[in-house]
Amino acid sequence: MNGAGGVLGWLEASPLSLAMRSSLWLYPIVEIFHILGFVLLVGSVAMFDLRVLGWSRSVPVPALGRHLLPWSAASLLLIVPAGLLMFSAHPHDFIGNRVFQLKLGLIAAAGINALVFHLGIYRSVAGWATGVPAPPAARLQALASLAIWAAVVSCGRLLAYT
């Protein structure tokens, strides 16, 4: 297995990949789990971002974060295995697909944005938990998060057409 071609070649020849390509129902069932996963992820992230942007100011931001963050983390247990399974069906096609590359890049950007948010401005959340606008930096990051995840979902859907 020399280099990426070797790994992808090995993956494409694997019984798992073969099953994902030959079974009528396996790929769509796996895609349903992928969809259920990102509905949970993007849904919980969007609800948190909309709160930071100023909706429902009576809802304490930290309490909402404590409720939603574990669900968005848990959703990765569905999204990533299902995504990798679908990837394994046509690894060469997906790895060479600009939309797929953009999707993975956007997912990385969303992760970095969330990390900078939680390690940065979110440390001052006690000062803007309820009733007052969040600091401009927090609102900017919430807006960026919404835009990036919308782009990830768009890339995911467009994969079937590219």
Closer residue to ligand HEM in complex, CB, 35/69: 35
**DSSP annotation of 160:** G
Q: For binding to ligand HEM (CB under 6 A), which residues are involved? A: 31, 34-35, 38, 41-42, 79-80, 83-84, 86-87, 94, 107, 152-153, 156-157, 159-160
Closer residue to ligand HEM in complex, CB, 8/61: 8
Whose CB is nearest to ligand HEM?
156
Report residue 120: phi and psi, to 5°: -110, -110
Q: Which two tokens stand for residue 48?
A: 């948190």
Closer residue to ligand HEM in complex, CB, 35/125: 35
**DSSP annotation of 130:** S
Rounded CA-CA distance 80/33 in Å is: 10
Min CB(32)–ligand HEM separation in Å: 8
Closer residue to ligand HEM in complex, CB, 65/156: 156
Q: Which two tokens stand for residue 45?
A: 């992230």
- Ranges of H-type helices in 53-97: 61-89, 91-95
Min CB(15)–ligand HEM separation in Å: 18
Min CB(144)–ligand HEM separation in Å: 15
Rounded CA-CA distance 5/73 in Å is: 32
Min CB(126)–ligand HEM separation in Å: 30
Give the Å distances, CA to CA, from 43 to 1, 86, 148, 149, 154. Answer: 40, 22, 13, 10, 15
Closer residue to ligand HEM in complex, CB, 123/157: 157
**DSSP annotation of 162:** -
